[in-house]
A and B are shown apart, each in its own frame.
Chain A
């Protein structure tokens, strides 16, 4: 396999930023560092997992942190940048708002998987774990549709910008489903 270059990683990220209406962070050193981290991870694991998160090397466990990660859209919507700050919104890109600090949105139980086979340690508080799990179930993915073009997506929150027609998040509405059992 030919080694992946930073230029390839950059082009892919730029194309994705364009599609979703984001920008890559403007600071050249920061950008270079982030892209290089992605390149190293792609060589190491076979997929570009987030350079700022610990990957497990198991694709199924790392799926949510493969760049662009599942948390990018909600983080850019709420803070103006994603967790590692590779992707930023226009205000941050143009310097109208400073580069924000973005807290980790990824659930702790997913982060923990990267630390090897889960043998619950004595220090783990069972009550807290149960609560977290319950909360996670409650959040769960839902069906959303774009009122402008009809694009449908199954995820926790609607996308920041519709990938098809570029409508804003406000144009998304939840599709309520009900299953009835009769007889």
Chain B
């Protein structure tokens, strides 16, 4: 699966972002995490192959996430859907 890593000095949490390349709210989430210095992995699902999409769907649903974007999964358990600065801030301790 084509996850891209964005480097940051805050590595205490495992942050995975499921995004769409066309989605402005996903872009804002990426920017916010980057500006906050959080290290995270993201994938733009609309640019994936059919096989990858299927795998990603299972992965998101196994973690109890919805199929809407952006969905940020923190430490494999906290699911934040949408660009929710308040929730991201709280969960990541920013």
Please report A residues at the B interface, Cβ cutoff 8 Å. 30, 33-34, 36-38, 40-41, 51-55, 84, 101, 104, 108, 111-112, 114-117, 119, 121, 123-124
Question: How many residues of B sit at the interface, in one of the four size bands?
Answer: 20 to 34
The 5 closest A-B pairs by CB, nearest first: A33-B24, A37-B22, A116-B50, A51-B22, A115-B57
Verify if B11 is at the interface (C-beta below 8 Å from A).
Answer: no
**A116 and B24 contacting across the interface, CB-CB below 8 Å:** no
> Can you name the residue of chain B whose Cβ is closest to the Cβ of A25?
B24
* Complex alpha-carbon distance, A119 and B69, angstroms: 22
**B67 and A121 contacting across the interface, CB-CB below 8 Å:** no
* Complex alpha-carbon distance, A112 and B21, angstroms: 18
Taking CB atoms and an 8 Å cut-off, the chain B residues in 45-94 that contact chain A are: 45-46, 50-51, 53-54, 56-58, 61-62, 66-69, 82, 84
A-B contact count (CB 8 A): 67
**A101 and B82 contacting across the interface, CB-CB below 8 Å:** yes
Q: Is the interface of B mostly helix, strand, loop or mixed?
A: helix
**Cross-chain pairs A/B with CB under 8 angstroms, 9 sampled:** A40-B22, A52-B68, A53-B20, A53-B69, A54-B20, A115-B54, A116-B50, A119-B54, A123-B61
* Complex alpha-carbon distance, A116 and B54, angstroms: 6
> Can you name the residue of chain A whose Cβ is closest to the Cβ of B83?
A101
**B68 and A104 contacting across the interface, CB-CB below 8 Å:** yes
